[in-house]
Homo-oligomer: A and B are copies of this chain.
């Protein structure tokens, strides 16, 4: 995928910082602002946190990024081109992508509510297999 093209399409200038941010998000999937910042800082020591924030806002408004809000976790971001839903482990905080079709439910909701729905933020919360095997639940 070509970031430069999508930036230009939205009349956003192509700067090394933006490319770095997008590449970071592309590689890590759902990632928080501070992680983006500290990861990029390795290659780009001069980048400022304010720039990361400003760009994330800009990219979000340009619909290049989307927010991922999981309960009990701070905000993360992912490429909006990458459609999927999530499962979150409540124990370890891990977040995983799953590609399942939610259009049937989406259509049902649209029918019920009259809304025009074009996006989905779905997160299933539970315990991942690793945490489940570690936690030997004795209580009923």
> Taking beta carbons and an 8 Å cutoff, which residues of A are in contact with B?
66-67, 69-72, 85, 87, 89, 96, 98, 100, 102, 105-106, 108-110, 112-129, 132
Contact = CB atoms under 8 A, between A and B. Distances in A.
Nearest to A137: B116
A66 B70 CA distance: 12
A106 to B, nearest CB: 6
30 contacts: A66-B71, A69-B70, A69-B71, A87-B109, A87-B117, A89-B115, A98-B112, A100-B105, A100-B112, A102-B105, A102-B122, A106-B124, A110-B126, A113-B128, A114-B128, A115-B127, A115-B128, A116-B126, A116-B132, A117-B125, A118-B126, A118-B127, A119-B124, A119-B125, A120-B122, A120-B124, A121-B122, A121-B123, A121-B125, A122-B123
A127 B12 CA distance: 26
Contacts of A124: 106, 109-110, 115, 117, 119-121
Given A100-B105, A105-B100, A117 B126 contact: yes
